[in-house]
Amino acid sequence: AAAGVHRPLAIDIFHSPQLTFAPLKNATGYAERYRMEFSALRRSLPPFVHLMTLERWHRRSLLVRLEHVFQNQEDTDNSKPMRVDLE
């Protein structure tokens, strides 16, 4: 149905990466000093599971909010329940 097309596109449009810029003399030096990529996930999230919030609450706790992109019975193929192991 239409939701199968517009939901994934909406995530791509409204949650696209935020580009930031800074003056640099040498990009190689920056890459040697700073981490250029990071993922706290051991594996990818299931299809159509969206990470809404990853926020530090206290020294040793995080707030993690996930959402299923599709509503119940909105799309015959993509509205199925999904399981995410957070360990």
Please state the domain extents for the chain. 3-68
**3-class SS shares of the chain: helix, strand, coil, % to 5:** 20, 20, 55
pLDDT value at residue 63 = 93
pLDDT value at residue 31 = 85
Residue among 50, 81, 78 nearest 64 (CA): 50
pLDDT value at residue 43 = 84
Phi, psi of 43 (to 5 degrees): -145, 165
Residue among 70, 78, 79, 75 nearest 2 (CA): 75
Which tens digit of pLDDT belongs to each residue from 43-83? 888 888 888 888 999 888 999 999 998 888 888 888 888 88
Question: pLDDT-based confidence at 18, cuts 50/70/90?
Answer: confident
C-alpha 54/C-alpha 76 separation (Å) is 30
Phi, psi of 10 (to 5 degrees): -65, -40
pLDDT value at residue 13 = 86
pLDDT value at residue 33 = 87
Query: pLDDT over 90 for what percent of the chain?
Result: 9
